[in-house]
Amino acid sequence: MARCAALLLLLLAASAAAAAGRKEKAGEKVCDKGWECSGSRFCCNEAISDYFKAYQFEELFAHRNDAQAHAADFWDYQAFITAAALFEPRGFGTTGGKEMGMREVAAFLGHVGAKTSCGYREAPGGETAWGLCYNHELSPSQSYCDDSNELYPCVEGVEYYGRGAIPIYWNQNYGIVGKGIKQDLLNHPELLEQNATLAFEAAIWRWMTPMKRKQPSAHDVFVGNWKPTKNDTLSKRYPGFGATMNVLYGDAICGQGSTDKMNFIISHYQHYLDLMGVGREHSGDNLDCDDQVAFNPSSENADF
């Protein structure tokens, strides 16, 4: 009887732990908050939808559906949340607590807003109120076909101009990102201007993924996962928002001094921090990249 009672107590304890959504696995606490995380160490943290709501998305992108917007009725909150949920188990918006999560969302969307903006200083609401105006490049300056790339060759009749939430250019980059999100973007780059969820997914994949071995991702340099080497410090590369621009754009933005292009991206990030209730005073250190040496000089790698 005693053994049966002990067994019953153990079963009840196990049931209670399961009901609480917590268990111990290999010495690491694993939580289930009701979102798909499969035992990720980020499961105990809030999901992005817990702290970033639809009304905030509407405030950040207040004019995206105006008559003047070129992608009206394309972008929406649910598309972003659906795409973001795929990367929450890897730490997107779930690293370092709620404030860091909100700052990361503001940082990522700051890039998105700046890169898809049709805003200008005299526009209603100012130049930072017009993010998600575009979903593709309207007047491509070239074909963006690199015939020398054998791994991701150009497909006849397909054009590789800029598309998406953080626009992708060139056949090889469509091939790389397509492989990352398991979509045939090399043959069908148009998917990024037809499906907002895929467009956000491609952009978040780029944010979360290093472009080369032994290099950090934009996520890593922003949330503090990355520790600069001696070569990085000599190249004036330090963790912070500035380094996210270096990872994503290299010397197209960074190492050029205090340029309008760089400051335009920073202004979106800080404006979004204000709208999300975090405040630009929490922008973090190393905000710009005006004197950073590029991780990947443009002479070595075709720009995204």
CB 192 within 8 A of CB 168: yes
pLDDT grade for 8, boundaries at 50, 70 and 90: very low
pLDDT of residue 35: 64
The verdict on residue 31 lying in a domain is no
Residue 33 has pLDDT above 80, yes or no: no
pLDDT of residue 98: 95
The verdict on residue 52 lying in a domain is yes
pLDDT grade for 41, boundaries at 50, 70 and 90: confident
Half-sphere exposure of 102 (CA within 13 A, CB side): 21
The verdict on residue 9 lying in a domain is no
What average pLDDT does the segment 119-131 reach? Answer: 91
Give per-residue pLDDT as tens, 103-112: 999 999 999 9
The verdict on residue 10 lying in a domain is no
Helix or strand (DSSP H, E) at 243: helix 241-249
Give per-residue pLDDT as tens, 213-231: 899 999 999 999 999 999 9
Going from the C-alpha of 10 to that of each of 3, 5, 13, the distances in angstroms are: 11, 9, 5
Q: Which long-range contacts (CB under 8 A, 24 or more apart) does 263-267 make?
A: 263/288, 264/114, 264/117, 264/127, 265/110, 265/111, 265/114, 265/115, 266/110, 266/241, 267/114, 267/127, 267/128
The verdict on residue 54 lying in a domain is yes
Give the number of domains in the chain: 1
Distance CA 9, CA 166 (A): 54
This prediction has a pTM of 0.88
Distance CA 230, CA 242 (A): 18
The verdict on residue 49 lying in a domain is yes
pLDDT of residue 290: 97
18-27, 76-85, 119-128, 209-218: segment of lowest average pLDDT: 18-27
CB 208 within 8 A of CB 219: yes
pLDDT grade for 40, boundaries at 50, 70 and 90: confident
| CATH code of residue 168 | 1.10.530.10
> Which domain does 63 fall in, by range?
40-282
